[in-house]
Structure 1
Amino acid sequence: MPKRSERICMLNQEKLKKINPETLKLYHKYLLDMKIRELSEKTIYNYYNDLANWWIYIYDYQDNKSVKEIDDSDISEFIVYCKDQGNNTNRIKRRMSSISAFFLFLKKKRLIDENPMSFIDRPKEGQAVVAQTFLTTQQIQFMREKLQENVEKAKEQRKTKPTQYYEALTMQAYAIFSLTTMARINAIANIRWEQLDFDSRVAKDVLEKEGYLVELFFSEEAKEYLLNLKQYRTENNIEDGGYVFVSAHRKSGSCTPATVSTLSDYCKKIGQMIGVPTLHPHDFRHSGATAYKNAGMSLEEVSVLLNHKSTDVTRRFYIKEDKSKLQANKDKCNI
């Protein structure tokens, strides 16, 4: 028989009393809805158990935010945590379903605009749960090469396929900007040109989680690709409404910022280019953090760039240590 995965039992009655009050109020509405639909007590208990474990994770590691402030990257961190604790695919799929059902109820009641679970791919039968991908230095370089190759190929065909060239420029700018700023996808989606200081390579007053305004620091390479994108739009009279990344270009009328879905699609295409089909937007954040840390930046510096409140979250979820360096340093001890 297959080995049964261990249960993650984080239920702590004292912590449950301290869960964000808005979260608890929303769950009470959900509980009433489940009772009206005559769900069995066992089913309701299973939903509650999954959700309560998730809430305690939010309490411990994500500042006890309301579930209305949670995004797909927050949920991905919880899923990876469950996986690291030994939960198998089926158990994690059940937790994902419980969380999604809760968000679907909130969306149906118009209490939230979108279900963040819709941006997380569900594992199919026999597939592993989506895990965090930490691109290696070699994979990052390969991604750079493939993105440039994609731009050059599309440029040759731009007279007959102008949309493909525009998309290639956009994907290149998005990938390198996302990697080097390590920003969350929602922050990147809403950045405007007026916020970018190209001289200092800083994006100013960027709205992050919980309403915080932060600064993002991008590389010279990202600067080059952003300016290329801006120049192309100017030369081709493409209206972007002032946003750096848009869902679709229009030659007239208003424009909206890129949706999470649009940027996620870019990420999937990039993943296919480099042989990492599970690549998703938050992986740029993990990969950038690990790359900078392994290149010599301190944990504290990387944590600041990620806009984390403490280094604990950075260390636990965003850094994959370079074990080759660890082995080399160990050998120097000559023991």
Structure 2
Amino acid sequence: MEAIINMVLAQMQPLLNGHQLKQLAITLQAALEHDRQPPKEDPADLLALFLTAKEVEGCSPKTIAYYRTTLEHMTVAVAKPYTQVTSDDLRSYLSDYELKRGAGKVTVDNIRRIMSSFFSWLEDEDYVVKSPVRRIHRVKCAQVTKEVLTDEQVESLRDGCTCTRDLAVIEMLASTGMRVGELVRLDIDDVNLQGRECVVMGKGNKQRPVYFDARTKLRINEYLALRHDDCPALFVSLRGEAKRMTVGNVEARIRELGKTTSVGRVHPHKFRRTLATRAIDKGMPIEQVQKLLGHAKIDTTMRYAMVNQNNVKASHRKYLE
């Protein structure tokens, strides 16, 4: 800064007297020091700006709410302006959160990722010089093999259905692997029965085609033939006025089917994981499974797909013995 001031004073010396040069030096020093100071921050305003940016990027209201709650809790717990928050502050916060709440490693790492996103945004927008989360590494989480549905269990769920709607829901989830949120947003006009495909609205408001089998086509045809309402939704409530099913409706119905058929704990996401696992097991390229499921990153697909260990053994004998 001093070098810049001296350079300007040297250039202006032939044009100004001593008093004017002195005033110019004072003015330049004050202006440059002001520019070096970080902008005054209001935590609530900065958080609101960050959430607006995430909304523009296409994050869902549910994700925005999760970000807000997580960051508000962190802000209160750390009790420092964002410009003064250090890596040690955030490490202590994560450690205390895990101990006091008995949180799992996955939850703690989710909080770390949200804080990383927030402070990286503050850095990009010049509110902080450097994100303190840069020095906090990813939390190592145990890789737990999650259960998938067997062919027998899927058949039991089919047999347990007492109405055509539930059977059509089971078939749609089993053959497409779509998210339950995508399922309930489907309209009748989104479904091309002849081509056995439909267009769903996935995360980030991204549309993608998904495909179903002939059995699903028959079940949907049977279900729609019994419909005599004007509701545009593909799947509607059975009692009272026809209304679009909610995520909670679907989850409750499938959970109930799991109990009545002795399949055990069943939820819509289990169908998605089952489809991914079977697709990989039967040799579908992982990139195509990624497209099928609508994952932005292939790492997410790999976490869903647990390759059958028997096939790994068979491949070992085929290629390595």
TM range (shorter): 0.5 to 0.7
Structure 1 residues 75-115: Cα deviation after superposition (integer angstroms, max 9, x where no partner): xxxxxx986258xxxxxxxxxxxxxxxxxxxxxxxxxxxxx
* SS of equivalent residue, structure 1 residue 214: strand
Structure 1 residues 46-73: Cα deviation after superposition (integer angstroms, max 9, x where no partner): 3488666323356899xx9xxxxxxxxx
Corresponding residue of 2:130: none
TM-score (norm: length of structure 1): 0.56
- Do the aligned partners of 1:240 and 1:249 also contact (CA within 8 Å) in 2? no
Q: 145, 149, 152: which one pairs with 2:159?
A: 149
1:202, distance to aligned residue in structure 2 (A): 1.2
Q: 271, 289, 297: which one pairs with 1:302?
A: 289
Alignment of 1:89-238 (within 5 A): 132-135=146-149, 139-144=150-155, 146-150=156-160, 165=162, 168-204=163-199, 206-233=200-227, 237=228
* Cα 1:334/1:302, change in 2 over 3 Å: closer
Corresponding residue of 1:21: 50
* Cα 1:175/1:83, change in 2 over 3 Å: farther
1:285, distance to aligned residue in structure 2 (A): 0.5
1:182, distance to aligned residue in structure 2 (A): 0.8
1:29, distance to aligned residue in structure 2 (A): 4.1
Would you say 1:84 and 2:95 are equivalent positions?
no
Letter in 2 for 1:84: A
Letter in 1 for 2:96: N
Structure 1 residues 176-230: Cα deviation after superposition (integer angstroms, max 9, x where no partner): 10121111111101111011001111112x2211111221211111111111111
Distance 1:332 1:45 in 2: 47
Q: 258, 264, 286: which one pairs with 2:273?
A: 286
Would you say 1:243 and 2:233 are equivalent positions?
yes
Would you say 1:55 and 2:111 are equivalent positions?
yes
- Do the aligned partners of 1:143 and 1:274 also contact (CA within 8 Å) in 2? no
Distance 1:258 1:82 in 2: 38
Q: 285, 308, 313: which one pairs with 1:322?
A: 308
Letter in 2 for 1:277: G
Q: Percent identity?
A: 19
Distance 1:228 1:303 in 2: 31
- Do the aligned partners of 2:71 and 2:115 also contact (CA within 8 Å) in 1? no
Q: 229, 252, 262: which one pairs with 1:275?
A: 262
Runs of at least 5 residues in structure 2 that lack an aligned partner in the other structure: 1-48, 52-63, 79-91, 121-138
More helix by share: 2
- Do the aligned partners of 1:207 and 1:213 also contact (CA within 8 Å) in 2? yes
Distance 1:83 1:175 in 2: 32
* SS of equivalent residue, structure 2 residue 111: helix
Corresponding residue of 1:109: none
1:148, distance to aligned residue in structure 2 (A): 4.6
Distance 1:200 1:311 in 2: 27
* SS of equivalent residue, structure 1 residue 133: coil
1:27, distance to aligned residue in structure 2 (A): 4.2
Corresponding residue of 2:253: 266
Distance 1:287 1:262 in 2: 21
Corresponding residue of 1:162: none
Corresponding residue of 1:46: 96
Aligned length: 221
1:325, distance to aligned residue in structure 2 (A): 1.5
Runs of at least 5 residues in structure 1 that lack an aligned partner in the other structure: 1-19, 36-41, 65-80, 87-130, 152-164
1:141, distance to aligned residue in structure 2 (A): 4.1
- Do the aligned partners of 1:133 and 1:279 also contact (CA within 8 Å) in 2? no
- Do the aligned partners of 2:153 and 2:263 also contact (CA within 8 Å) in 1? no
- Do the aligned partners of 2:157 and 2:258 also contact (CA within 8 Å) in 1? no
Structure 1 residues 271-325: Cα deviation after superposition (integer angstroms, max 9, x where no partner): 235533221111111001111221221111111100112322111x211111112
Letter in 1 for 2:202: E
Structure 1 residues 156-182: Cα deviation after superposition (integer angstroms, max 9, x where no partner): xxxxxxxxx4xx322211111012111
Larger radius of gyration: 2
- Do the aligned partners of 2:158 and 2:170 also contact (CA within 8 Å) in 1? no
Letter in 2 for 1:140: D
- Do the aligned partners of 1:143 and 1:273 also contact (CA within 8 Å) in 2? no
- Do the aligned partners of 2:77 and 2:93 also contact (CA within 8 Å) in 1? no
State the superposition RMSD in angstroms: 3.6
- Do the aligned partners of 2:70 and 2:111 also contact (CA within 8 Å) in 1? no
- Do the aligned partners of 1:240 and 1:246 also contact (CA within 8 Å) in 2? no
- Do the aligned partners of 1:143 and 1:270 also contact (CA within 8 Å) in 2? no
Distance 2:173 2:260 in 1: 17
